[in-house]
Amino acid sequence: MMIPWCFAYDKVNYSRYLTPYFAQMTNLGDKNPEVQKAFKDGSFSVQLASSNPFGRIPVDQTTEVTVNKDAQNPGGTTRFSLKPATVQRYYVLTAEYRSAFLGQLRNMVQASNSETQHTELQSSRMKKDEQAVSAIVDLIQGWVNPFSESQDLISISTAKKAPREIATDLKTAHAVGERCYANFKEERMEKTPQIRKFHDPLKTNKLKTFSDLNKKKQVPINDRSIILKADRSLFGRIIVIAQERSLQMDAILSHPLGPLPWALSTPDGLLRKTNKASLASMLQKNVQVSEEVPVNSAAVIDGMSLVQRLRGDQLTFGDVAMTVLSMAMKEGLSCNRIDVVFDTYKELSIKNSERQLRGEESGHQLVNITSTQIVRQWMNFLTRVSNKTSLITFIVKEWRKEACRQKLEGKLLYANAGDTCYRITMEGSEEVPTLKSQQEEADGRLLLHASHAANEGFNSVLICSEDTDVFIMSLTFSHEIGASLFMKSGTRMRTKVVDIVKVAASLGPEVCKGVLGMHAFTGCDTVSAFAGKGKAQALKILKKNKRGREALTELGKDWDLTPELTDKLEELTCLLYSSNTVTTEVNELRYQLFCSRRGVR
């Protein structure tokens, strides 16, 4: 029921007036049986067309879609007067006739098909709805899934984990609302005489929500400090003040109007996210899925993806190591060589902010892992970075033992623990100096192993990873690896293998060289995305705009940005927000967009 939530989150008017309304509707059969019968007969709605299924709509909506809609101009009710005589002439004297005339004209020309089919049952509408649902599912799966087995509360808009005090308020909100609802009914409606008057002020609960994570900035003013909350309405108020005082709007808009840059930051001070998976789908659009991987191939597998897929509760850590090995063998079933590449977790890392966002330091730390130790809370164990490091070290150490080596069935196994990589066979194991790497992310190390397999004589390499970053890097460097690259992704029931070489051929070498810079510039794990701008517009610019393609190709080759490259990237940013603009400066374009959208001169 909705009423307890209104009480919990201090919606005073809804709480006060929904309570007696619900009581009246509950007792409607005793006090107004004729009204209850009319409701049960459907008198609260209107059937617009007799043969249109699911065509009943509320009475107030009926007025909106018939009389009010027909009485309006094509652009709606515009330039409406506040004079009482004009209002009466428009609504009372003429609206009914204008609506009737338009309805008769529509019937004469048979312009409406509402008699035969509901708009939401049209094939075009159904296809559009299916695409919208698929887009939402892809976004959640490619970013953060709040419906996963994790017990943590995660914001679906920012992917940030709720702190303990906010999580407690969110989990107890309904109980708090039920208690306040019961007290309200008892004190103001049920007791005689009333303990409190009906309109006495309501006590607020002030429960914390994800909005309390919004970034705040302390600003000193005249020897005192005030707190500016990161609120979008702040931007609007500043604009209104600037217009009222006849300030130069182009100068105003060249400065950040708030504690955070809204184009690059969320209100709680986090990087803006974008749907990375959509870029991979667009790049693979014109390439068919491969049927099989050629013979004499090697499989390079993201090791942590295997660990995350495992259900480790009530298993011993020895069973975990053996199960992960079996999963790797199954992934590379048709391959002669299998490389399992794990992440390396360093104390000082650019990924620390992302890990903090995911709440990866909240679990209990295990100092020593033994093969007979039983896992009690698998997902909670994986939330701590130090536990992952210990687990990876333990798994690779177990794989090097004879019991695991005998399960290789003649295949070559390469696995890394930290910076060191081992070559494991049925006969024994040894370090591989050429695969020693200080790269933290497995994303880059996957390509290192793919290149090593190609140099060892393998004709094709199957990269097993769900990460869009891996796909983009594979696409960019495919021409530098002396073997055909394939990428395997999907679920156990729906597996997809993409030929990277065919994707690169369909896009062309120039686009492939620039796609990595485009991906990084428009938003990834450590770079903020532009507000309201996904990957599609950037990909169009990469394909069609020569200067934009040159800038994205050059981006990342050197640590320092040259003034020429900075100018090209600024021009590219302008094209992201206005595809037909000739403006090359962000401040100038911001002012132009402000004027065009708000009618400011």
Exposure string over 223-243, b if 16+ CB within 10 A, otherwise e = eeeeeeebbeeeeeeebeebe
| More reliable by pLDDT, 266 or 283 | 283
Alpha-carbon span 500 to 463, nearest angstrom = 10
Does the structure show a pLDDT above 70 at 359? no
- Per-residue pLDDT at 508: 92
Q: What are phi and psi of 396, to 5 degrees?
A: -65, -35
- Per-residue pLDDT, averaged over 158-172, amounts to 85
Sheet containing strand 420-424, edge to edge, reads 429-431, 420-424, 412-417, 337-341, 297-302, 460-464, 484-490, 495-499
- Per-residue pLDDT at 223: 56
Alpha-carbon span 590 to 149, nearest angstrom = 43
pLDDT band per the 50, 70, 90 thresholds, residue 13: very high
pLDDT band per the 50, 70, 90 thresholds, residue 296: confident
Nearest residue to 453 (alpha-carbon basis) of 438, 463, 444, 443? 463
Nearest residue to 268 (alpha-carbon basis) of 155, 437, 379, 185? 155
Does the structure show a pLDDT above 70 at 220? no
The letter for the amino acid at 270 is: L
Alpha-carbon span 534 to 139, nearest angstrom = 12
Alpha-carbon span 509 to 475, nearest angstrom = 10
DSSP states along 320-368: HHHHHHHHHHHHTTT-SEEEEE-----SS-TTHHHHHHTTTT-SPP-S-
CB 475 within 8 A of CB 501: no
**Which DSSP letter does residue 490 get?**
E
Alpha-carbon span 563 to 268, nearest angstrom = 32
The least confident of 253-257, 376-380, 584-588 is: 253-257
Alpha-carbon span 255 to 36, nearest angstrom = 60
241-261 pLDDT per residue, tens: 776 677 777 887 788 777 778
pLDDT band per the 50, 70, 90 thresholds, residue 151: low
Give the chain's mean pLDDT.
83
- Per-residue pLDDT, averaged over 27-49, amounts to 86
DSSP element (H, E) containing 220: strand 216-221
Q: Which two tokens stand for residue 1?
A: 């029921």
Q: Map tokens 């509408």 to a residue.
A: 125
Nearest residue to 512 (alpha-carbon basis) of 537, 546, 476? 476
- Per-residue pLDDT, averaged over 423-442, amounts to 92
CB 406 within 8 A of CB 325: no
DSSP states along 429-469: EEE-GGG----SSHHHHHHHHHHHHHHTT-SEEEEE---HH
Does the structure show a pLDDT above 60 at 74? no
The answer for 130, left when phi > 0, alpha when psi is -120 to 50, beta otherwise, is: alpha
Alpha-carbon span 518 to 533, nearest angstrom = 13
Nearest residue to 448 (alpha-carbon basis) of 418, 484, 474? 474
Instruction: Tell me what percent of the residues of the chain surpass a pLDDT of 70.
Output: 82
- Per-residue pLDDT at 473: 94
CB 306 within 8 A of CB 324: yes
Taking the CA atoms of residue 107, residue 112, residue 114 and residue 120 in that order, the dihedral angle to the nearest 10 degrees is: -170
**Which DSSP letter does residue 190 get?**
I
- Whole-model pTM above 0.75? no
Does the structure show a pLDDT above 70 at 489? yes
- Per-residue pLDDT at 186: 92
pLDDT band per the 50, 70, 90 thresholds, residue 327: very high
Alpha-carbon span 2 to 22, nearest angstrom = 11
Alpha-carbon span 141 to 160, nearest angstrom = 15
pLDDT band per the 50, 70, 90 thresholds, residue 117: low
DSSP element (H, E) containing 217: strand 216-221
Distances (CA, A) of 87 to 70, 81, 101, 196: 17, 7, 20, 43
Does the structure show a pLDDT above 80 at 82? no
- Per-residue pLDDT at 400: 94
3-state secondary structure of 487: strand
The letter for the amino acid at 318 is: G
Where is mean pLDDT largest: 94-103, 243-252, 277-286, 388-397? 388-397
3-state secondary structure of 203: coil
The letter for the amino acid at 86 is: T
pLDDT band per the 50, 70, 90 thresholds, residue 149: low
Nearest residue to 208 (alpha-carbon basis) of 165, 248, 242, 244? 165
Alpha-carbon span 569 to 566, nearest angstrom = 5
Does the structure show a pLDDT above 80 at 391? yes
Does the structure show a pLDDT above 70 at 113? no
Does the structure show a pLDDT above 90 at 41? no
Where is mean pLDDT largest: 148-157, 160-169, 353-362? 160-169
Q: According to the 3-state scheme, what is the secondary structure of 21-68?
A: HHHHHHCHHHHCHHHHHHHHCCCCEEECCCCCCCCEEEHHHHHHHHHH
Alpha-carbon span 21 to 33, nearest angstrom = 16
| More reliable by pLDDT, 575 or 53 | 575
Looking at the chain, the domain(s) classified CATH 3.40.50 span 276-507
- Per-residue pLDDT at 492: 65
Does the structure show a pLDDT above 80 at 159? no
- Per-residue pLDDT at 455: 94
CB 227 within 8 A of CB 217: yes
Dihedral of CA 323/326/330/331: which sign? positive
- Per-residue pLDDT at 87: 65
Does the structure show a pLDDT above 90 at 338? yes
The least confident of 81-85, 373-377, 397-401, 515-519 is: 81-85
3-state secondary structure of 295: coil
Contacts of 144 (CB under 8 A, 6+ apart): 154, 156, 159, 358
CATH class for the region spanning 276-507 = alpha beta
